[in-house]
């Protein structure tokens, strides 16, 4: 895909849940949750300094093919909200360890 992109000078839109694939192809990445972009960044920035909790969880899910490598896991708890009736604000806030209650 990278060769094709360079050869014909075009953009490629790639949709995947596997950030291991994303690491090798695009220059910029948009991370989506429930159909909304939650983070948009240059690829290297996204991999080294992910800002959104969903992006962080996706990065923790990338398989490392070395049984000697041990790392913590980031597991999103709770149920995925309905994409038909998403919650207000950040759509992942009910599953995010960073979310805080705010008074009206």
Q: Each residue's pLDDT tens digit in the chain (104 positions)?
A: 778 777 888 777 888 877 777 877 788 899 988 888 999 999 899 989 999 888 888 887 777 777 787 777 777 777 777 778 877 777 777 676 666 666 65
The pLDDT value recorded for residue 102 is 60
89 belongs to a structural domain: yes
| 64 within domain boundaries | yes
Domain assignment of residue 78, given as a range: 2-95
Residue 19: inside a domain: yes
Instruction: Indicate whether 91 belongs to any domain.
Output: yes
> DSSP label at 38?
E
Residue 45, pLDDT score? 93
**102 is a domain residue:** no
In this prediction, residue 40 carries a pLDDT of 95
Find, among 21, 15, 14, 1, the residue nearest to 62 by Cα.
21
pTM: 0.72
Whether 48 is covered by a domain: the verdict is yes
Domain count, the chain: 1
In a domain, residue 101? The reply is no
- Would you say residue 74 lies in a domain? yes
């Amino acid at each position: 895909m990278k060769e094709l992109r360079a050869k014909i000078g075009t953009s490629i839109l790639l949709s995947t849940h596997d950030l291991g694939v994303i690491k090798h192809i695009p220059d910029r990445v948009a991370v989506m949750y429930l159909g909304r972009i939650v983070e948009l960044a240059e690829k290297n920035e996204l991999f080294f300094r992910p800002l959104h909790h969903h992006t962080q969880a996706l990065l923790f899910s990338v398989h490392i093919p070395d049984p000697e490598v041990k790392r913590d896991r980031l597991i999103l708890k709770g149920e995925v909200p309905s994409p038909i009736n998403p919650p207000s604000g950040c759509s992942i806030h009910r599953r995010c360890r960073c979310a805080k209650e705010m008074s009206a």
